[in-house]
Amino acid sequence: MAPVIEAIRQELTAHADPEIRKSSGRFFKEVVRCYGMKTATVTSIAKKHWKEVKTRDKQGIFRLCEELYRSGMMEEAFVVSVWAPLLADRYEPGDIAVFRHWIETYITNWATCDGLCNHAVGDFIVRYPEQIEELKRWTQSKNRWMRRSAAVSLIVPAKRGMFLAEAIEIADLLLTDTDDMVQKGYGWLLKEASRKHTDKVFRYVVANKRDMPRTALRYAVELMPKELRAEAMKKDW
């Protein structure tokens, strides 16, 4: 075990709260292994140890991230979610394969999925927008977290008004997905896109609401004006 990993695990163990660990399960349908602590505490620990690892080469840091993921502990995955975006200025196109491997192999719940994808993968896509084609391929995966990742990786750029056409295309590819985690993922993407493009997202939702699961629909219209939400949610069949 790398010394920095051992140090991180010792700190996480020292901050573990049995009450938080016991209550954390109510946020997940899956069994989640965790130390039990607030996310802010994990972030603080991750940033502290980043000072030690940031001068290493990127592949070395990726290996440390993989070692953290292999533990299966949620807070160790959160350390990766803090570290990986801090490498954004060192990203190269081939790094999408690393992210894909991590998602396929280690992501087992919505928190670790969104933690990695919202920032690390999202930052990667902003830098290499042609890699959205890879996200589209993820929509066809048998792995629910790969499919959710295809949507939530665009959350932050969509919030800034970017990639509207691509967000809608990914929503199209996931439109009739039967998995609620995927439905919530692409519904959330449409919701964030609606911040800057309310009319276009509204038109898309209304045009597709016969096929769109109600879960996705509710997420998609959450930020819209009351009258638009009512129109979108109205059952007219």
Q: Which residue has the higher pLDDT, 24 or 121?
A: 121
Whether 22 has a pLDDT exceeding 90, the answer reads: no
pLDDT of residue 237 exceeding 70, the answer is no
pLDDT at 173: 98
The string of pLDDT tens digits covering residues 94-115 is 999 999 999 999 999 999 999 9
Residues of the chain with CATH 1.25.10.90: 1-90, 111-237
What architecture does CATH give domain 111-237? Answer: Alpha Horseshoe (1.25)
pTM comes to: 0.94
| Residue given tokens 């959450």 in the structure block | 222
Domain 1-90 adopts which CATH fold? Leucine-rich Repeat Variant (1.25.10)
Return the structure tokens found at 185. Answer: 């993922």
Asked if 138 and 147 count as a contact pair (C-beta separation under 8 A), the reply is yes
Within 10 A of 231 (CB to CB), how many other CB atoms are there? 16
- What pLDDT does 186 receive? 98
DSSP 79-114: HHHHHGGGGGGG--GGGHHHHHHHHHHH--SHHHHH
d(CA 150, CA 211): 20
